[in-house]
Amino acid sequence: MDEITIWSETKKGGKVVESFDPTTTVVDLNDRRIGSTDLSPLEELPNLEVLTLSGNEIESIDLSVLEECPSLVELSLGGNEITALDLTPLSTCPELTYLGLSFNRLREIDLGPLSSCKKLRSLHLYENKLRDVDLSPLKKCRKLRTLTLTKNEFSSLDVSALFRCPNLRTLDLDPDVTLSAEKKFKTKTKVSRGLSSYLDRIEWI
């Protein structure tokens, strides 16, 4: 079988060419100084489970090809220069358990598509420029264990959705962020370990 080739380019115009066996489950393009890449060949990798593009210089990336990758388990895009990202294609990735978007320049992010990722366990958004983030889609992610949001630019955050994530173990938030939640959760007797340490900071609305 012919190998699948992914063509990428550095910001200085250098070519980065990587080839993969069609049966591969892992595509690792970590730390290649990639500035732009064409992921369309991934549609020929139906068994893809792990896609890593962290530690590059990517400013924008089209994830639409991931609609053809229903077995995707891990997506790592941390350590780039991404300013905007459409997560819509991930709504067709029900097996996704890990999404790494830390150390980028995201100013906004719509987490809506993640409501279809009911196996999601780790979501990393720290070290971005997020001015606001709506966590409500995460109420569908009941297996979520880790959520990191430190070092962003929002000053307040509604954490109501996280009361519906019973397995949350690690929740990282900056100490100066004002937290709020719906009053109906104030009397909830079982609260996840990750959220319990923030209860005294929550303003009930």
Mind listing the pLDDT tens digit for each residue in 98-139?
999 999 999 999 999 999 999 999 999 999 999 999 999 999
Query: Within 10 A of 45 (CB to CB), how many other CB atoms are there?
Result: 24
Dihedral through CA 181, CA 185, CA 189, CA 192, nearest 10? -40
CA distances for 50 relative to 8, 14, 103, 176, 178, angstroms: 18, 25, 19, 35, 35
Q: By the 8 A CB rule, do 45 and 20 touch?
A: yes
Which residue, among 140, 82, 74, has the nearest Cα to 111 in the 3D structure? 140
pLDDT bin (cut points 50, 70, 90) of residue 1 is: low
User: CA-to-CA distance for 164 and 138, rounded, in angstroms?
Assistant: 8
User: CA-to-CA distance for 96 and 71, rounded, in angstroms?
Assistant: 8
Fold (CATH) for 4-204: 3.80.10
Compute the average pLDDT of residues 174-183.
98
Specify the pairing of strand 4-10 against strand 15-20: antiparallel
* In the block, residue with structure tokens 């938030």: 173
Residue 143, pLDDT score: 98
pLDDT digits (tens, 9 = 90+) for 41-78: 999 998 999 999 999 999 999 999 999 999 999 999 99
pLDDT bin (cut points 50, 70, 90) of residue 189 is: confident
Compute the average pLDDT of residues 7-35.
96
Q: Say how many residues make up the chain.
A: 205
Compute the average pLDDT of residues 72-90.
98
For all residues of the chain together, what is the average pLDDT? 97
Record the pTM: 0.97
Percent over 70 (pLDDT), the chain: 100
User: CA-to-CA distance for 147 and 165, rounded, in angstroms?
Assistant: 11
